[in-house]
Amino acid sequence: MSHPFATLTPDLVLDAVESIGFLSDARVLALNSYENRVYQVGIEDSEPLIAKFYRPQRWTNEAILEEHRFTFELAELDVPVVAPMIHNGESLFEHAGFRFTLFPRRGGRAPEPGNLDQLYRLGQLLGRLHAVGATKPFEHREALGVKNFGHDSLTTLLEGNFIPRSLLPAYESVARDLLKRVEDVYAATPHTNIRMHGDCHPGNMMCRDEVFHIVDLDDCRMGPAVQDLWMMLAGDRQECLGQLSELMDGYSEFHDFNPRELALIEPLRALRLMHYSAWLARRWDDPAFPHSFPWFGSERYWGDQVLALREQLSALNEEPLKLF
């Protein structure tokens, strides 16, 4: 079977954009995106647009539109976010079997790791994001949990024969031990699921004209607030404590944070590690993945994963970060 994007040619991209009334100048530039396909499309006598083509069969229309509504809520409250364009009252379009959305082009740069001034401002932005996210739940998007990000990821990897046989016993053993520990910490840690970004790494918080903007809410879902916070931290424990203090000083100006959720940082990191490997496995029939991730499936990659999961198991037995 051909992969989902086999027929998404540059001509089809141009046709899709023009099908809703825009006149292109025939320039198409593919941008760095794997889960979906994203292009910069030149428009006659105007600024280029960004066209995002959703991976078929990943999200329902309802789930995509729920993402859009969340983004519009944020924008209406002046939270800096790159929101989909509304054209003729619609934000989700379809052409030749592909669903797509248009965005204005917004450049910017990612935060500097460990920059305390930037972390304070990022905390303010995330506090505003969560203040909106906490007002009501998603109805069509799943929550981040141990089953879907952990156990289901392990099942994908084991049933798909992606792990070299020589490393399979070691990986399965440490993964099962790790998931048991993650379950225990989850059960012992009071937390509230809210609407959140879901994939809040620094590359999705872009700075332009000294203002940070939230981008790419494609993975937004229900989950604990700390999921959007821990990836802002970098370095050793002492460095992370100082960064966390700055981040939370800004965050608390706009939204309350339950400090007990800090105990979920290492469990969430563990789930992200396993989910990432499973994501690569689930997308391996897309030619873009073997081309871009040729090391997946190698002995070295899986040896590093065994080591990473063992380190996570050790981290789960350490004292969580605390606010002072």
CB-CB contact of 219 with 71 (8 Å): no
Q: What pLDDT score was predicted for residue 108?
A: 86
Q: Which of 73, 104, 135 is the last residue of a domain?
A: 104
CATH number of the domain residue 26 falls in: 3.30.200.70
3-class SS of residue 243: helix
The mean per-residue pLDDT over the stretch 269-280 comes to 98
Q: 40 has which bridge partners? A: 29, 50
Q: Which of 76, 104, 132 is the last residue of a domain?
A: 104
Question: What is the per-residue pLDDT across 13-69, written as a single tens digit (0 to 9) for each?
Answer: 999 999 999 999 999 999 989 999 999 999 999 999 999 999 999 999 999 999 999
The mean per-residue pLDDT over the stretch 280-298 comes to 94
Instruction: Give yes or no: residues 222 and 278 share one domain.
Output: yes
Instruction: Give yes or no: residues 159 and 59 share one domain.
Output: no
Instruction: Give yes or no: residues 259 and 146 share one domain.
Output: yes
Q: Which of 104, 137, 167 is the last residue of a domain?
A: 104
In a domain, residue 19? The reply is yes
Distance CA 2, CA 7 (A): 9
Instruction: Give yes or no: residues 95 and 141 share one domain.
Output: no
Active site residues: 199, 216
Instruction: Give yes or no: residues 135 and 233 share one domain.
Output: yes
Burial of 31 (0-12, 13-18, 19+ CB in 10 A): exposed
- Number of domains comprising the chain: 2
Instruction: Give yes or no: residues 125 and 261 share one domain.
Output: yes
Q: What pLDDT score was predicted for residue 80?
A: 95
3-class SS of residue 299: helix
In a domain, residue 20? The reply is yes
Instruction: Give yes or no: residues 94 and 55 share one domain.
Output: yes
Q: Is 193 annotated as a binding residue?
A: no
Instruction: Give yes or no: residues 238 and 279 share one domain.
Output: yes
Q: What pLDDT score was predicted for residue 15?
A: 97
Q: What pLDDT score was predicted for residue 313?
A: 97
Q: What pLDDT score was predicted for residue 323?
A: 87
In a domain, residue 207? The reply is yes
Instruction: Give yes or no: residues 60 and 92 share one domain.
Output: yes
In a domain, residue 2? The reply is no
Instruction: Give yes or no: residues 138 and 234 share one domain.
Output: yes
Distance CA 81, CA 153 (A): 31
Question: What is the per-residue pLDDT across 179-226, written as a single tens digit (0 to 9) for each?
Answer: 999 999 999 999 999 999 999 998 899 998 888 999 999 999 999 999
Residue closest to 49 by CA, chosen among 79, 93, 5: 93
pTM, two decimals, is 0.94
The mean per-residue pLDDT over the stretch 68-78 comes to 97
- In the block, residue with structure tokens 């052409």: 95
Residue closest to 122 by CA, chosen among 200, 32, 227: 200
Q: What pLDDT score was predicted for residue 208?
A: 85
Distance CA 250, CA 245 (A): 9
Burial of 47 (0-12, 13-18, 19+ CB in 10 A): exposed
CATH number of the domain residue 249 falls in: 1.10.510.10
In a domain, residue 5? The reply is no
In a domain, residue 89? The reply is yes
In a domain, residue 3? The reply is no
CB-CB contact of 274 with 150 (8 Å): yes
Sequence letter at residue 46:
S
In a domain, residue 110? The reply is no
Question: What is the per-residue pLDDT across 98-143, written as a single tens digit (0 to 9) for each?
Answer: 999 999 998 889 898 889 999 999 999 999 999 999 999 999 999 9
Domain that holds residue 44: 12-104
Instruction: Give yes or no: residues 71 and 126 share one domain.
Output: no
Residue closest to 323 by CA, chosen among 236, 225, 257: 257
Q: Is 204 annotated as a binding residue?
A: yes
Instruction: Give yes or no: residues 130 and 187 share one domain.
Output: yes
Residue closest to 203 by CA, chosen among 275, 276, 108: 108
